[in-house]
Structure 1
């Protein structure tokens, strides 16, 4: 499992880990039931605190991406299609928010932006 940590920037390390593991699960690179490295092993590999990896794993479990089996470790949880859809919607909202800011700054009207979005969306289906 390749996780890249950037010490510069505003994103906390535990959040970087959480985002990257979510991405691996959503892409299918980490499959249902697959074991993740122990918190200690991941912390050692990334040269970070075990507390940081613990926080990331707890967040992933809270969000339904991981399950913990006492004495055995953490495993990728069964895929919840609603969870996958919700994550996709959240990511789309982030990108659309950035697009709205660019449009406002550039003097693009809501109607023009909606037309562009419609063209792009329908073009993807075709």
Structure 2
């Protein structure tokens, strides 16, 4: 599991952790049943508070993305396929919104964006 914390981000550190782990679960980089690093190990690796790591894991557990086993740690939970697809769609929508924002900034029209998207899509 790879997590990068940005001290210059406006997002809280626990939110950065939560979002990065979510992305790894949705992209299936972290598979069902995978053991996450212990709260203390992740805190040590990221050089942050154990409380911050604990909060991130608790948020993931509330969302049903991980589950805890007392004495063993946190594991990636089994994902409902419809739920997983919805998460992936939401991820794509967020990325598209970033692209659309950049297009507005640069002055690219919707037609130009659609043409670019079509060309790139067909090349895949």
Equivalents in 2 of 1:27, 1:93: separation in Å?
14
| Structure 2: gaps (5+ residues) | none
Q: Deviations 1:43-69 (Å, cap 9, x if unpaired)? A: 233221222111111121222220122
The 3-state SS of whatever aligns with 1:113 is helix
Contact 2:60 2:66 in 1 (8 A): yes
Q: Which residue of 2 aligns with 1:11?
A: 11
Q: Which residue of 2 aligns with 1:81?
A: 81
The 3-state SS of whatever aligns with 1:61 is helix
| Structure 1: gaps (5+ residues) | none
The 3-state SS of whatever aligns with 2:74 is strand
- Equivalences for 1:22-33 in 2 at 5 Å? 22-33=22-33
Contact 2:5 2:17 in 1 (8 A): yes
Q: Which residue of 1 aligns with 2:103?
A: 103
Q: Deviations 1:20-55 (Å, cap 9, x if unpaired)? A: 222333444432212222223322332212221111
Equivalents in 2 of 1:71, 1:83: separation in Å?
29
* C-alpha distance 2-82 of structure 1, shift in aligned 2 (>3 A): same
Q: CA RMSD in A?
A: 2.3
Number of residue pairs aligned between Structure 1 and Structure 2: 124
Give TM-score scaled by structure 2 length: 0.78
Give TM-score scaled by structure 1 length: 0.77
